[in-house]
Amino acid sequence: MADYFLELEPIHPGCLVNILQGGKLPKNGMVWELKNQILPLDMYCYLHAKYGAPNGLQNFLRSDDSDNLIHWEWALASEDGVVMIQGHNFRSEVHLIGDFRDKGLALDQLITQFKSDFSTHGKKMKEVRMGLEKWTQFINPYKRISSAVEQHFKKLKELNLDPATDKIPQPITEEDFANYQQQWTQVAEKYDHAIGLAFGIRSMLPVLAESFVNLLLFVLGKPEIKNNSRLFQDTVRRPIDIRVQTLHLNCNHFSRPVDYTSEPCKAFHSLMNERNDILHGNVDPNKLAFGEVFFNGKVPVFTAYESFWDKSIGISVQSTRMEALDKDYQTVESFIQYLLDCLDPRVRKEVDQIASKSQLGFNNGTNRIGILFPDHIVDFRAFAKTE
């Protein structure tokens, strides 16, 4: 068995169909799984170098894209049956169809024999690898922030906030005081959670719009800027209003300049200024004001009496502008929509598709951006039957 798996021979697809349809192979096979004992790239290059292009039937059944259960398959013959080696999303599988049980065969033997044969086919393996396109997978920051914003809104809506009914009246009677602490604790916890979510949303919404601007620069940026790292970094580090107003200068496929005096841009600029005050902790009493009080020396004279709710939860709700979150979200969406409207219609659809994907690919050799895989990844397992 020292060279058992090195003596396998490729099978013509037509012969393989006749063998499988003939039903003459004993159903005494096995299925082995490999994770990274042999890296999938090494396995592919080795099999391609030794046997030529993949010849298994799954290669003819797969769709011509990356959304498949099985991406490649080699069908190889031995004296005991057929060995099919497949590349899946999460592993490689070796299907032994025939009279393989009780032969003393094990996955470790295949791994050891294949690896020992790498040096024999090393030069050809390198040629195969050099013929492959190398793509770097990366997270789409715009989609990641967009998903986080959506989740925050979802969680906020699940709290079913209604200050008009949630507001706990100031205790007056002895019975009110007895129940007040428990009621207050429950409501306060809910609103503390809500205020945290609202603060997160207000912080992320302008970043969501900014990330879309940066995505446009990365996807549509002119080659003389994208291919020069210093120029590109200088471009993306400019103040956001400058980045927006120069998009048509630094990017291809803009059918008209961005008008920063347009309503969508002005609303976005205001939102960005509010975000800066939040993130930088800017102290501006006029923007942070929530009420007035007079003093006669050290004696406070209130303009009106307020409840515990008004002086605590009420102030927090007011300061986070929770009631304006939907409007702020619409401001960002309108701004992004406006930028898309400035694009050549033929390119806009592609930008929409790229923006909607959580994971993207970048080819460093050609500076191409691609959608490598669907957002869903499928998996399945086949189990050999014995007779």
Give residues with Cβ within 8 angstroms of 241, minimum separation 6.
Answer: 260, 269
Number of H helices, E strands in the chain: 18, 10
Dump the DSSP string for 167-186.
PPPPP-SHHHHHHHHHHHHH
3-state secondary structure of 137: strand
3-state secondary structure of 161: coil
Burial class (CB in 10 A: 0-12, 13-18, 19+), 40: middle
Distance in angstroms (rounded) separating the CA atoms of residues 171 and 178: 9
pTM attached to this predicted model:
0.79
Give residues with Cβ within 8 angstroms of 23, minimum separation 6.
Answer: none
pLDDT tens sequence for the chain (387 residues): 679 999 999 998 888 888 777 776 777 789 999 999 999 999 999 999 999 999 998 888 888 888 888 999 999 999 888 999 999 999 999 999 888 888 889 999 999 999 999 999 999 999 999 999 999 999 999 999 999 999 999 999 999 988 878 777 777 667 767 677 777 788 888 888 998 999 899 889 999 999 999 999 999 999 999 889 999 999 999 999 999 999 999 999 999 999 999 999 999 999 988 776 665 455 555 565 667 788 888 888 877 767 666 777 777 777 777 888 999 999 999 999 999 999 999 999 999 999 999 999 999 888 889 988 887 766 666 544 444
3-state secondary structure of 273: helix
